[in-house]
Amino acid sequence: MKHTKLKNTSALVLATAMTVTGLAQPATAQSASEIMAVSGKNDDTSFCGDAPIRLGIHDAFGINGWSRTSMAIVRSEAAKCPNVEQIVRIGQGDLQKANTDVNGMVAQGIDALVIVPSLGQAQLPSLRNATRAGVSVVPWAAFPGGEAGRDFVDFVDYDPVGAGRSYAEWAIKAIGGTGNVVFLGGPAGNPVTASVLQGVQEVMDQNPDVTLLTGNAADNSWPVTNWDTAKTQQTMVSLLSQHDNIDAIINDADGFSGVGVIRAFESAGRQMVPYAVFENNQLACDFDTIKAAHPDFELGTLSGRNWVGRIAVRKAIAAAQGLTNEEPSIYDLDMFEDTTIGQGPFCDETMPPDASISANLTAEELETFGKVE
């Protein structure tokens, strides 16, 4: 199967989903479908307001390709507002550093904060403190607990439980409704993986001919990858030594770090199996080569959903300016790529290997705004 080579992200929009005529309209005029069709990208600046403000931008993890793309999304959207000064920090997966970063930005006088709280509820106290200090806080991509409207302005993301269901349904279809499935997750205890696994488990429980070899939603346990390529490979090598029959893999990581799964199969001399994971440009561009060596390999991906960071920025800045933002907060994602039906993979050779193509970024935007500190 030949992959689809995309020369720009406009082609991606046409290739993958709902078509929107012309430029996106201001936030209050858009439906969720319209927002998703252009990956949240528009020319609206009404959210910027007029007063000079400081925007804190934080990612508690911030050290992989998904994080780089997400940072570029957030920073490029905020850059539409000449009255907004950006203060950027990353937590590097360290809870103490992440909380100290937030407290430090509050002390620097930020008016709004857009944050990926990858470490979950342990970050909620720092978000509450920021809110009490008058900061308009909008977490996105990882739910920190708490309540929107009280502990923070709003929470923006895809539905991770729904994503887990989509992954599981795709994997079961790809293996013909019978076999063994391995689930891999990010850092121990993180809320994203816990929610994805919940959705996976729900579907698996309805399919008695499919066995979930790893991952227990009841106690939120799973083989840890830390969303890191080397750790993913190490974890998968261990699982391959434990299980002779693995028919499909579900991994809640971005496909760039998820390449570690394929390397593990190759190093073990095993044939790669159908693989459900977040999208990634390198994985898409390498699909034909991998498929040639591993005939049973198929790819089922979801959008990396980095683009929801654009909505998070608009909500945070609007709130700090006393403006209303009526954009939806939670988005239901369909499968982005599904090679079992010839949908993708979508490769853009003008973009770097770790790019998320559905983010609808140019190579220049990724280079300019993908820097974290």
What sign has the CA pseudo-torsion 357, 350, 76, 28?
negative
pLDDT digits (tens, 9 = 90+) for 27-59: 455 788 899 999 999 999 999 999 999 999 999
Which residues make Cβ contacts (< 8 Å) with residue 250, sequence separation at least 6? 167, 168, 171, 181, 182, 183, 184, 200, 276, 277
Q: Please report, for residues 42, 79, 88, 111, 327, the alpha-carbon distance to residue 45 in angstroms, rounded to integers and kept in the order given.
A: 9, 10, 21, 18, 14
Burial profile 152-180: b = 16 or more Cβ within 10 angstroms, e = fewer: bbbbbbbbbbbbbbbbbbbbbbbbeeebb
Q: What is the pLDDT of residues 240-297, one digit of tens each?
A: 999 999 999 999 998 888 999 999 999 999 999 999 999 999 999 999 999 999 999 9
Cβ neighbourhood burial of 10 (10 Å; 0-12, 13-18, 19+)? exposed
- How much of the chain, in percent, has pLDDT values that exceed 90? 81
129-152 confidence digits (pLDDT tens) = 999 999 999 999 999 999 999 999
CA gyration radius for the chain?
Answer: 20
Stretch (H or E) spanning 59: strand 53-59
C-alpha 260/C-alpha 236 separation (Å) is 8
Nearest to 141 by CA among 75, 195, 85: 195
Model pLDDT for residues 110-119, shown as the tens digit of each residue: 999 999 998 8
The C-alpha atoms of residue 63 and residue 226 are separated, in whole angstroms, by 10
What is the DSSP code (8-state) at residue 17?
A: S
Question: What Cα–Cα distance (Å) separates residue 3 from each residue in 187, 254, 291?
Answer: 32, 19, 11
Read off the pTM: 0.84
Q: Is the peptide bond between 345 and the residue preceding it cis, with omega within 30 degrees of 0?
A: yes
CB within 8 Å of 107: residues ≥ 6 apart:
none
Distance CA 66, CA 72 (A): 10
Q: 20 pLDDT band (50/70/90 cuts)? A: very low
Q: Determine how many CB atoms are found less than 10 A away from the CB of residue 89.
A: 21
Which residues lie below 8 Å from residue 67, measured CB to CB, with a gap of 6+?
59, 61, 90, 116, 372
How far are the Cα atoms of 100, 262, 301 from residue 283, in angstroms, in the given order? 36, 10, 10
Q: Where would I find the beta strands (DSSP E) of 152-265?
A: 157-158, 179-184, 210-212, 248-251
**What average pLDDT does range 353-370 have in this prediction?**
92
Q: Under 8 Å CB-to-CB from 179, ≥6 apart: which residues?
A: 209, 210, 211, 245, 247, 248
Q: Which pLDDT tens digit goes with each residue over 173-226?
A: 999 999 999 999 999 988 889 999 999 999 999 999 999 999 999 999 999 999
**What token pair was written down for 123?**
């970050």
245, two tokens: 């029959």
